[in-house]
């Protein structure tokens, strides 16, 4: 009996650690579930403030989509997951493992004074696109702090660099919401050295009307300069480089007369302002360089904006126009007026042959149906609208946010966050291939060939990448048959979507390098 009691006691002692382990595991699992539920609830409340149509079901759909993509292409997705873990590890190390003295004494040196701190997280991967971000994580701290209090930066605006797999390479905080992203062109295209490409600048414009723009390093996202507007001037959200990358042209507003101006900045002299031209209009927004390298093409939106606000003062008496200027002396070559004075000429893209692609934002009554996607070429007397089935331009809710053109494949993509869709046109026939539902989409850029040489996947090389306010980067692949035999291709098979979700909110514009 004594032996039996001893064995029983020993078994009881062995069970005690197991019971504790089970209790600990159950408690951990319960804490994880509760913590996840709290996190989802907080994030959903945050999304609901910005997107009234946000639903809890979106999280289930997103998880399902990610699991499906992980199952279908495990190697590629696991590689991306590894890079995401590296990014998180980098942020953690820099946020918590650096000595306090190092945090306080490490400054970002620049020739220009900064008004706010910028923090950057970087992974060593090539960047293909750059985008503004309206909402990004606030807990990332890097060594290039501008102040000792940078770790407490509450700004949720920023800029991100994106790689060919649509993963975030770097992210840099901004003190205010940004708009256009402009990448410095490569002047010597024969030079393919890594250093030549690495040292290119990316200019980030503040949202109109803004008193600042910033110059970042394309490869790392680090802020090099913060440029302030001159007296009685505000920036109007867009800029473009000369083809040699030496000069930057910026749309500006005279805050006294409210006349449009084009400021010229010397990229070789720390972006010092060296000249200014009249835009020959009111409210200049986007401007682009003509392929001949000598002509500036300017979208005068026609809207007067009160200083230090976005209040529109003259919607009834707007005067929009498209203007061609001599980039050297500001002489006016051509000025074209749209058919309706409330058709605000807002966003532009340039086709290789000099044809300008134009996105309109109509400021008139909601029931008025006007064309929203136009083209113009020097010498044409009027704008030429693209073809919309049954002339139903209301599909875009009178608002085009971005215009992107693929000259090589004769494709055009336009986005409308209000209409909640992206549309792709065949420029050979000027007809709509299809529009794709993408809520709150805005940014658009040409999709890069990701090096897939399989003949079966050649069609996927044609298309665009579209960003949206819900954190999605969506690749829109165009079926090549849709451009050649539109009537014979089922509408569901004309454009294929491939979405990748990020925990941030992309802003208005997306720029390809």
Alpha helices in 51-111 (DSSP H): 57-72, 74-92, 100-105
Q: For 181-208, how does the pLDDT look when each residue is reduced to its tens digit (9 = 90+)?
A: 999 997 655 544 444 444 789 999 988 7
Q: For 402-429, how does the pLDDT look when each residue is reduced to its tens digit (9 = 90+)?
A: 999 999 999 999 999 999 999 999 999 9
Average model confidence (pLDDT) for the chain? 78
Residue 178: pLDDT band (50, 70, 90) is: very high
**325, part of any domain:** no
Q: For 46-58, how does the pLDDT look when each residue is reduced to its tens digit (9 = 90+)?
A: 766 655 556 666 6
User: Quick check: 511 pLDDT over 80?
Assistant: yes
- Nearest-angstrom CA–CA distance, 256 and 273: 19
pLDDT at 468: 94
Question: Do the Cβ atoms of 65 and 501 come closer than 8 Å?
Answer: yes
**411, part of any domain:** yes
User: Quick check: 372 pLDDT over 80?
Assistant: yes
Question: Which residue would you say has higher pLDDT here, 89 or 311?
Answer: 311
User: Quick check: 103 pLDDT over 70?
Assistant: no
* Extended beta strands in 351-401, E state: 356-362, 373-376, 384-385
What share of the chain has pLDDT > 70, as a percent?
A: 68
pLDDT at 76: 45
- Kindly state the average pLDDT of the residues 232-258: 93
Write out the residue range of the structural domain in which residue 437 sits.
Answer: 401-506
**213, part of any domain:** no
pLDDT at 494: 84
**68, part of any domain:** yes
- Nearest-angstrom CA–CA distance, 402 and 444: 6
DSSP reduced 3-state for 108? coil
**410, part of any domain:** yes
- Nearest-angstrom CA–CA distance, 305 and 312: 5
Domains of the chain: total = 2
- Nearest-angstrom CA–CA distance, 163 and 152: 28
pLDDT at 399: 94
Structure tokens at 452: 């897939």
Q: What dihedral angle (degrees, nearest 10) is formed by the CA atoms of 401, 181, 133, 57?
A: 40
Question: Do the Cβ atoms of 303 and 315 come closer than 8 Å?
Answer: yes
**92, part of any domain:** no
Q: For 430-456, how does the pLDDT look when each residue is reduced to its tens digit (9 = 90+)?
A: 999 999 999 999 999 998 754 444 344
Give the residue from 72, 93, 121 where a domain finishes: 72
pLDDT at 112: 38
- Nearest-angstrom CA–CA distance, 136 and 163: 18
pLDDT at 15: 54
- Nearest-angstrom CA–CA distance, 159 and 66: 24
**Residue 492 sits in a domain of what CATH number?**
2.40.128
28-37, 118-127, 349-358, 473-482: range with lowest mean pLDDT: 118-127
**187, part of any domain:** no
- Nearest-angstrom CA–CA distance, 451 and 135: 32
Structure tokens at 43: 């994030």
**1, part of any domain:** no
User: Quick check: 24 pLDDT over 70?
Assistant: yes
Alpha-carbon torsion 319, 325, 327, 331, what sign? negative
């Amino acid at each position: 009996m004594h032996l039996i009691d001893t064995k029983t006691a020993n078994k009881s002692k062995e069970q005690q650690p197991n019971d504790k382990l089970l209790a600990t595991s159950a408690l951990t699992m319960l804490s994880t579930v509760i913590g996840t539920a709290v996190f989802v609830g907080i994030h959903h409340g945050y999304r609901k403030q910005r997107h009234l149509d946000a639903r809890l079901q979106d999280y289930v759909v997103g998880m399902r989509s990610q699991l499906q993509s992980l199952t279908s292409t495990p190697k590629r997705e696991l590689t991306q997951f590894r890079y995401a873990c590296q990014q998180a590890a980098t942020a953690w190390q820099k946020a918590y493992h650096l000595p306090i003295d190092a945090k306080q004494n490490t400054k970002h040196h620049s020739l220009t004074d900064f008004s706010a701190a910028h923090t950057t997280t970087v992974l060593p991967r090539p960047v293909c696109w750059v985008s503004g971000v309206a909402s990004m994580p606030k807990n990332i701290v890097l060594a290039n702090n501008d102040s000792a209090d940078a770790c407490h930066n509450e700004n949720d605006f920023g800029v991100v660099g994106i790689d060919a797999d649509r993963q975030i390479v770097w992210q840099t905080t901004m003190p205010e919401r940004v708009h256009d992203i402009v990448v410095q062109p490569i002047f010597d295209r024969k030079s393919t050295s890594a250093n030549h490409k690495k040292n290119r600048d990316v200019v980030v414009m503040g949202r109109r009307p803004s008193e600042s723009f910033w110059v970042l390093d394309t490869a790392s996202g680090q802020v090099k300069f913060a440029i302030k507007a001159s007296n009685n001037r505000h920036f109007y959200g867009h800029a473009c480089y000369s083809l040699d990358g030496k000069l930057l042209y910026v749309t500006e507003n005279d805050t006294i007369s409210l006349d449009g101006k084009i400021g010229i900045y010397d990229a070789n002299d720390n972006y010092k302002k060296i000249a200014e031209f009249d835009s020959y209009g009111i409210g200049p927004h986007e401007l682009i360089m003509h392929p001949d390298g000598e002509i500036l093409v300017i979208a005068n939106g026609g809207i007067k904006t009160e200083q230090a606000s976005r209040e529109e003062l003259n919607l009834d008496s707007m005067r929009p126009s498209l203007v061609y200027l001599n980039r050297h002396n500001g002489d006016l070559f051509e000025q074209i007026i749209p058919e309706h004075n409330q058709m605000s000429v807002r966003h532009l893209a340039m086709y290789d042959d000099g044809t300008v692609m134009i996105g309109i934002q109509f400021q008139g009554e909601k029931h008025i149906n006007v064309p929203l996607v136009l083209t113009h070429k020097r010498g044409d007397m009027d704008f030429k609208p693209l073809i919309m089935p049954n002339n139903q331009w209301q599909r875009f809710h009178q608002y085009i946010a971005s215009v992107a053109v693929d000259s090589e494949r004769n494709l055009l993509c336009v986005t409308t966050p209000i209409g909640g869709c992206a549309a792709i046109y065949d420029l050979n026939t000027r007809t709509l291939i299809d529009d794709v539902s993408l809520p709150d989409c805005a940014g658009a850029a040409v999709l890069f060939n990701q090096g897939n040489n399989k003949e079966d996947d050649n069609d996927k090389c044609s298309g665009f990448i579209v960003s949206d306010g819900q954190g999605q980067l969506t690749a829109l692949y165009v079926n090549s048959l849709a451009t050649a035999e539109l009537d014979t291709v089922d509408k569901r098979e004309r454009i294929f979507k491939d979405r990748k979700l990020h925990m941030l909110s992309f802003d208005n514009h997306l720029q390809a390098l």
